[in-house]
Structure formats: structure tokens, C-alpha cells
Amino acid sequence: MSESRKAELHYDGKKYEIPVTVGSENEHALDISKLRSESGLITIDRGFKNTGSTKSAITFLNGEEGILRYRGYSIEELAEKSNFLEVSYLLIYGELPSKTQLDDFVNEITSHTLVHEDVKAILDGFPSRSHPMGVLSSLVSSLTAFYPKSLDPNRSLDEINGTIIRLIAKLPTLAAWSFKNRMRQPIMYPKNKLNYTSNFLHMMFGLPTTETEINPVIASALDKLLILHADHEQNCSAATVRIVGSSHASLYASISAGIAALWGPLHGGANQAVIEMLEEMKDSGGDVEKYISRAKDKNDSFRLMGFGHRVYKNFDPRATIIKKAADDVLDQLGIKDPVLDLAKKLEEVVLKDEYFKTRGLYPNVDFYSGIIYRALGIPTDMFTVMFALGRLPGWIAQWKEMRETTEPIGRPRQVYTGENLRSYSDINKR
């Protein structure tokens, strides 16, 4: 990484030299960390649209060309040839595992899937209509109570590894239990002879009980979805995990915050919002054009959910892969669903529409992932939980990198626009 190039800033008759950092994919960034002490200036960039918050070696993303790579491996190749736990290992530890390393990793995870029985008491305290994302975030945070050593900021990386394994092992159990709470159904315990994805389906639906009972098209689509969601560099939830962790809060607390950030409809919550939007369209007569006009109307806050992305302005490479998986699942299951038919119609019309073309608004991964989850019978408010299961290794990798590189506490500045100093006036004189 070269640090020798410099940019110049001329301001108020003075010249300032700003070092340029160049990344391994030739991305150039102005390093303004000393700008304020030298010139008194800060930078402002609401929503961090053009601000690199860190240097990271985990995920490379080029939104203009639709490139996404984990640790240098293309998402297309990983989705085709790898599986979710292998990709998790790659993201967290930096390299693809050997056979022995992967076996050990999978065995460790498989032997930690149970959660403490007292977690059930916490779960029982939630009302039945609780959104599973809120329950999941709370349960993950509650793990600090069961593993208090995780709160020690001076733990070695070896000790932190125990927390990493527990999180990957227990998140499917907690996720399925948050669903069972919502349905007021008895919880299902993990069945460790099943693989990661099948075990989750088993805890949700009671099936499969053996690996052979799962339809391979479904197993492959779910595994692909988890892989495609596994990391996405400095997005809203990953940045949240890093910033919470930068205060030396525990990994459990940081992941709990990441789940909360993912929940919103502009981020991971979009997959739920897509199906709710399509259902509303269907119930109001299926007039796709009406909704498209609303999305274009600047006086209407309505947006087409599942379209557009902060960084992808040509196409979302994850969406290309998952669209194919969605088609396979619908074909395989022979599903006829007016809501899914409407999705196809909407996609067709939007892709030809000038408003969306000129703004680089294409279907994103959440447009198609919602379609697959619905076809599999996963309830709509569990969709974002599925996203969280996939994103977990990315959050862990981001947190671990932040700690390993001893990143300073995250603390942005601001430009104050409020009142200047004024005197307090007595309440009777106001």
C-alpha cells in the first residue's frame, strides 16, 4: 500500500499537503486524519457517502463494475463451489481452510449449538407478537450474562475465538427460537447430526430430521443466500459493529447492535418490506404502474423496496446469482403465487423505465431473497433474521480486524448549526 502520493489543498491563502492512501485494488483516498490539527478544517459527508472509515483486507467491492470478492475470491466462484461454513472460516481467519481445519471448525460449531436453558426464561418474557429481529438482538446481547468473561477487553485472540464459535453455533438456535416465540409454539432443540442449514430448518419447522429429507435445490439456494449475505464491507450494520466494538464493548454486544442496524427497511429489513409491498400491490388490484409512478413522485415518500443500492449503480452481483436460485426454487417447487408473479412483472417494467435506468436503480439482493424465503414458507418477519444469519461471519471478521489493528474509538465530528451562546432566562419571564 503506497503512502507516497500527496494531494494539495489551497484554503485561505495557505497550502496543505494531504497524503493519498492507495489500496491493493488501486483505490485512492485522501488521508485527512491530520487536516484539522494543521488547518482547523474538518470534512463533512452525511451518510458517509464518500468517506472511508477504515482500511480493510476482508471484502473488495466495486459498485460501478458489479464486483464483490471475499478475501480476493469472487462471490460467483464461492457461491458455486464453496459452502457457508467454509466461507465463514475464510472471512474470519483470512484464508480458505485445509480439510482438517474445516473439519475442526465445523465440529466445534456443531458441539456448541445448544444455548443455556435460562435463555428460555428470557424468551418467554417477550410478547408473542414481538418482531423476531428485536428478540434476536436482545438474546444475543443477553449472552454476555452467560459468558461474563467475554466482557474483558484484554482477552487474547484465542479466548475471543471461543466467543466466535459460540456465536456462529448459537445464532441459528436463537433465531429459530425467536420465531417459535412469535408463533407461541414449543421450541425445538438443535439436532447435531444435521448440517448447519438443515439444523436451522429443523428448529424452525421440525423437518428435516435427516439430511436426505431436504430437497437439494432448497439446500443449495439457502446455502447460496447465506454465502451472498456473508459480508459487504463497510455497510450500515458492519460499520455499527465496528464502531460499537471500537469502544471495547464485547463481541456479543457489538453483534447485537449489528442486528439492530440491519433491521431497518433501508438495509436488511428491505427483504421483508419487498414482500409486504408486493402483497399491498396485489390486494389493491395489482396495478404495478401506479406504484412505479408513486416511486417517481418527489412529493410521495414511497420507494420501490428491493430496488437501488448505495454502492451498486449498474447491477448487484449478488442479485444475478440469487435470481437464478430463485427461478430454480420456484420451478422445483412448482409454486404458483400471484405475489411472486407480480414481482416478475414489476422487475420487467422497472428494468425498462428511464427513471430507474438513469439513476442506476436495479433489483438488489433483497428483491430476490424475499422471493425465495416466501417460496420456502418462511414467514415474512423472519426474512431479516435470515439475512442476519448470513451476515454474522462478516460482522465477526470486521470486529476481529478492528481489534487486531487496534483501531481507535470511532468518534465522528460535526458542524454545529444550533444557537450561539445565550443566557438562561427564568421560567416566569419566558
Residue 367 CB, shortest distance to ligand CMC, in Å, is 7
The residue within the footprint of ligand CMC, chosen from 69, 131, 170, 309 (CB under 6 A), is 309
By residue count, the chain amounts to 430
Q: Is 346 in the site for ligand CMC (CB under 6 A)?
A: no
Residue 351 within binding range of ligand CMC, rule CB under 6 A: no
* Binding pattern for the stretch 156-185 against ligand CMC, x by CB under 6 A and - elsewhere: ------------------------------
Q: Is 366 among the catalytic positions? A: yes
Q: What CA–CA distance (Å, rounded) separates 132 from 205? A: 16
**C-beta atoms surrounding 360 within 10 Å:** 14
Q: Is 294 in the site for ligand CMC (CB under 6 A)?
A: no
Write the interaction track for ligand CMC spanning residues 217-256; mark x where CB under 6 A is met and - where it is not.
---------------x--x---------------------
Q: Spell out the residues 6+ positions from residue 203 whose beta carbon is closer than 8 angstroms to its own.
A: 172, 173, 176, 177, 180, 187, 188, 189, 190
C-beta closer to ligand CMC: residue 11 or 355: 355
Please report whether residue 266 would count as binding ligand CMC according to CB under 6 A: yes
The nearer residue to ligand CMC, 191 or 296, going by C-beta atoms, is 296
Closest residue by Cα to residue 331 from 302, 358, 296, 371: 371
* DSSP E strand boundaries for 65-216: 67-70, 73-74
Interacting residue with ligand CMC among 135, 365, 382, 402 (CB under 6 A)? 365
Residues 390 and 394: their CA atoms lie apart, in Å, by: 8
DSSP 74-113: EHHHHHHH--HHHHHHHHHHSSPPPHHHHHHHHHHHHTT-
Give the burial string for 108-137 (b: 16+ CB within 10 Å, else e).
Answer: bbbebbebeeebeeebeebeeebbbbebbb
Query: Is the link from the previous residue into 338 a cis peptide, with omega within 30 of 0?
Result: no
Binding part of the chain for ligand CMC, among 8-16, 111-119, 305-313, 400-408 by CB under 6 A, reads 305-313
Q: Is residue 307 involved in binding ligand CMC (CB under 6 A)?
A: yes
Question: Which residues lie closer than 8 Å to 146 by C-beta, 6 or more apart?
Answer: 115, 116, 118, 119
Task: Compute how many residues bind ligand CMC; rule: CB under 6 A.
Answer: 20
Enumerate residues 6+ apart whose C-beta is below 8 A from 223: 83, 84, 197
State the minimum distance, in angstroms, from the CB of residue 297 to ligand CMC. Answer: 9
Span interacting with ligand CMC, options 4-12, 113-121, 202-210, 266-274, rule CB under 6 A: 266-274
270 binds ligand CMC (CB under 6 A): yes
Q: Which of 55, 180, 282, 310 binds ligand CMC (CB under 6 A)?
A: 310
Q: Which residues are catalytic?
A: 309, 366
Interface residue list for ligand CMC (CB under 6 A): 232, 235, 266-268, 270, 295, 303-310, 359, 361, 364-366
